[in-house]
Amino acid sequence: MADCLSEDTEILTNSGFKKIINLSECDLIANIDIEDNLVFFEKPKKIIIRDIKNNEKMFEFKIKHLNKSIITSEKHRMSYIDKLGLISSKIPEITYIKNYVWSGKGLKNNVSINLTNDELRLLIWIIGDGNITITDNKSSINKRIRFGLRKKRKIDRLLSILNNIGIKYTMPKNNKQTSIYLSTDCSRKYIEIVSDYKNLLIEFIVNVNKEQADVLIYEAIMVDGDYENFIKHGTIRLNSTNKKFIDTISAISSINGYINNCNFRKTKLGNRELSIYYCSIIPTDRCIFSKNGFHNNKVIKHELYDYNKKVVCVECKTGFFIARQNGLTFTTGNCHLGYGVPIGSAFATKDIILPYAVGSDCGCGMFATKLSYLWQDLTPEIIDRIMKEIMRVIPFGTGIGHRIEQKWDGFDKAPEFPTYIQAALETARYQLGSLGAGNHFVSLLKGNDDHVWLMIHSGSRNLGANVCTEFYHRAKNFCSENNIEVPTPHLSYLPLDHEDGQWYFSMMNFALDFAKENRRRMMTVCETIACGMLGCTVDQEIDIHHNYANFEVHEDEISGIQKEVLVHRKGATPAFKGQLGIIPGSMGTSSYIVEGLGNEASLCTVSHGAGRAMSRKQAKKLFKVEDTKKLLEGIWYNHIALDEDPRCYKDINEVIKAQDDLVKPIVKLDPLGCIIGS
């Protein structure tokens, strides 16, 4: 769900930056896919323009050094990099600009404009310094491109480009400046690209690849940039009276790995008042990884008490888009995405059920056990023995199960399985009591209550995935056959009074029972091994699902009446008043036992973990084994998986703080040993 930004917010579209308040449903807006930071353009799903609500808070994030601000409503989810999707009211009072200003790394379609680099350079000269002259010869109207230049450096550069391309031109004598006219035929070709208004056409901006973008940006310095500063320090700073020129470069650079800071001021030249537009462009890698500089600018958050304008926002496919306020580009949006609905979401329905709002691992959840043993008495040798024995007994990994069929009374109560996934039930007989892969784990931890804890994260294995896929296709077919439009196919649903809706509900509940029994069996193994070696007993057990749908009674936010609804939780933990829950961090960071506060605004729900700060693909490219090993010093682990490096996840302590109105922490747990399925 999108919330809102200040009325003056611009959004990057296929024709440059445009105020959201002037946006139409025909515009294509720049979506950032956070899996790879690549950009693609698509129509907005929804454009939001509304009055500020009664008692709604607005926050200003002021960049101290630049004297610029980003203004948002209290529930807008800022793309605060380490914690994607953190709402404004929960962001700390002091942060840094690097947390907000990031950009795409190029276009997803990976195409390129069919122009040479010199032809691209000429386009930027035309937009920045060119004029389109029109002559009416009665029989026809001719359009020619003219440049009026004074500086020898600029004249030499432009002539070099024209000669390289082989373009015909004339240079009439003029005492004040050097005029360069392109031939009519050559002018026609480039006018078709930039139009009579010297504005790059839609197809151009959305089809420039990264290499071509670099050519355009660096040529812009030659046209209207601080050339001397660039030669000395490599600084990219543009200044021009031509707003379209600045906007074009700002748009192209935002898509292709550069951060923008644009300014505007008025000045007088004789009796004329001129508007001067500035644009500082910084490569993202230089901004983030330098030891000092732009990225270390402090951002001070404070509440605005006198904001009385409209607020605006958009909903888009990925949930992340490139915006601009006060000339500063920043990425903003919603939260960590999943199929159909975001991971970490909870919502209620009355008469329908959505397979992908439960997710592909029905019943995935957590099991934690508190032992009577005090962690101060543990030694590295004992930890090593416990973890190796658990790893020997519990099967883990993709597709891995037991060698023999596992007995369970629940198999006798299984509902009828659809033909195409009957094999999943047979596989489940061998996978009961096994960990799985990905981020599923078994860990040994020490609590700030002085006790040793065991923890398991696992679900319904291959069974739940097959159930989700089968009934997602049935839901999609149902919506299609009944001409029901849904925002995305993964939001397809089944009525609860429909045969397939009832069938899915029973299949889902079977998967939940299987997942719970799966965790119970593994924890029994872990408890037996640990208690046997330590000579202790089990003090407490906690087991919860975080991928499921359940009938519950909640208060209607409009009428205030208690109603029974079907609450879907996908990567979300129930947090009813007094209910204990488990929120894990990562294999190298803390986890928490929490107690629910029963907050109806969240449907009594809290996050299911720290949440990923980057994709597995990104982590494998970015991290090195030796660095991950250093982060895990003092922790026993079965192997290094770069996609489970602690830096892949958001700061669990900040995540817990951000949810202080949903749960209160009871026990903080730090890892001693971890077996990961990845």
Pairing of strands 636-637, 663-676: parallel
| 3-state secondary structure (DSSP) of residue 539 | strand
Query: Domain 5-107+284-333 is classified in which CATH homologous superfamily?
Result: Hedgehog/Intein (Hint) domain (2.170.16.10)
Average pLDDT for 106-120: 81
- When pLDDT is averaged across residues 391-400 and rounded to a whole number, the result is 91
What are the E-state strand segments in 489-632?
Answer: 494-495, 538-545, 547-555, 562-570, 572-574, 580-583, 591-596, 605-607
The pLDDT assigned to 623 comes to: 87
Which stretch of 282-286, 385-389, 537-541, 590-594 has the lowest confidence by average pLDDT? 282-286
Q: Which amino acid is at 376?
A: Q
Which pLDDT score, from 0 to 100, does residue 558 have?
Answer: 63
Look up tokens 């995405």; give the residue.
Answer: 337
Domain extents in the chain: 5-107+284-333, 117-283, 345-676
d(CA 46, CA 23): 10
Do residues 56 and 66 touch, judged by C-beta distance below 8 A? no
Facing residues of 29 across strands?
13, 42
- The least confident of 141-155, 252-266, 324-338, 522-536 is 324-338
Coil, strand, or helix at residue 531? helix
Instruction: Please state the φ and ψ torsions of residue 462, each to the nearest 5 degrees.
Output: -65, -25
- Residue range 348-366: mean pLDDT, rounded: 93
d(CA 474, CA 16): 41
pLDDT of residue 165: 94
Q: In this structure, are residues 437 and 500 in contact, taking their beta carbons and an 8 Å threshold?
A: no
Tell me the C-alpha distance between 365 and 514, whole Å.
12
How does 60-92 read in b/e, with b if 16+ C-beta sit within 10 Å?
bbbbeebebbbbbbbebbbbbbebbbbbbbbbe
Of 655, 515, 622, 660, residue with least CA distance to 82: 655
> Looking at per-residue confidence, does 196 or 75 come out higher?
75
Residues, the chain, total? Answer: 678
Q: What is the mean pLDDT of residues 117-122?
A: 93
At a CB cut-off of 8 Å and minimum separation 6, what does 144 contact?
132, 133, 135, 181, 182, 183, 184, 187
Domain 345-676 fold is: tRNA-splicing ligase RtcB (3.90.1860)
Integer Cα distance of 523 and 367 in angstroms: 7
- Specify which residues 5 forms β-bridges with: 72, 312
Q: What is the per-residue pLDDT for 481?
A: 94
Say how far apart CA 411 and CA 573 lie, in whole Å. Answer: 27
Number of neighbours of residue 411 by Cβ within 10 angstroms: 16
Determine the angle formed by the axes of helices 152-165 and 117-129, rounding to 10 degrees: 140
What confidence tens digit (pLDDT) does each residue in 442-473 have?
999 999 999 999 999 999 998 999 999 999 99
386 contact partners, CB below 8 Å, separation of at least 6: 444, 529, 530, 533, 534, 673
Given a cut of 80, is residue 557 above it in pLDDT?
Answer: no
Known catalytic residues are: 608
- pLDDT recorded at residue 334: 47
By DSSP bridging, strand 345-349 and strand 272-283 are: unpaired
Q: Does residue 287 carry a pLDDT above 60?
A: no
Q: What's the confidence (pLDDT) of residue 588?
A: 93
> What pLDDT sits at residue 291?
45
The residue type of 229 is N
At 38-66, the pLDDT tens digits run: 888 888 888 889 998 888 899 999 987 77
Answer positive or negative: Cα dihedral of 65, 70, 73, 77: negative
Helices 499-534, 461-481: crossing angle, 10 deg rounding: 160
Q: Could you give the CA distance from residue 422 to residue 418 in angstroms, rounded to a whole number?
A: 6
- Alpha carbons within 13 angstroms on the beta-carbon side of residue 341 total 23
Q: How far is CA 243 from the centre of its chain?
A: 31
Banded model confidence at residue 127, pLDDT cuts 50, 70, 90: confident
Confidence of residue 227 (pLDDT cuts 50, 70, 90): confident
Candidate from 75-84, 144-153, 592-601 with smallest mean pLDDT: 75-84
The distance of Cα 126 from the centroid of its chain, to the nearest Å, equals: 37
Which pLDDT tens digit goes with each residue over 151-187?
899 999 999 999 999 999 999 877 678 899 998 888 8
Model pLDDT, residue 202: 54
Q: Locate all alpha helices (DSSP H) within 540-624, ordered by sequence.
A: 616-622
* Tokens linked to 555: 């208060």
Contact of 105 with 36, CB cutoff 8 Å: yes
| Average pLDDT of the chain, as a whole number | 87
Cα separation, 31 vs 319, whole angstroms: 7
Residue of 534, 273, 514, 518 lying closest to 417 (CA atoms): 514
| 578-582 contacts at long range (C-beta below 8 A, 24 or more positions apart) | 579/604, 580/542, 580/666, 581/366, 581/542, 581/544, 581/606, 581/663, 582/366, 582/367, 582/368, 582/455, 582/542, 582/544
**Residue 48 one-letter amino acid:** I
Say which DSSP state 414 is in. P
Distances (CA, A) of 476 to 236, 418, 472: 50, 16, 6
The candidate with the shortest Cα–Cα distance to 316, out of 485, 487, 486, 72, is 487
Q: How far apart are CA 251 and CA 256, in angstroms?
A: 9
pLDDT of residue 336: 42
> Tokens 């069996």, residue?
521
- Backbone φ, ψ for residue 12 (5° rounding): -75, 120
* CATH, domain range 117-283: 3.10.28.10
Angle at which helices 243-255 and 210-224 pack, to 10 degrees?
Answer: 150
Beta strands 352-353 and 298-304 are unpaired
pLDDT-derived band at 488 (thresholds 50, 70, 90) equals: confident
376-390 exposure pattern, b = at least 16 Cβ within 10 A, e = fewer: eebeeebbeebbebb
Is residue 132 within a helix (H) or strand (E), and if so which, with residue range? Answer: strand 130-136
Residue 454: Cβ within 10 Å count: 25
In this structure, how many other beta carbons lie within 10 angstroms of the beta carbon of residue 662? Answer: 21
Which among 140, 139, 158 has a CA at the least distance from the CA of 148? 158
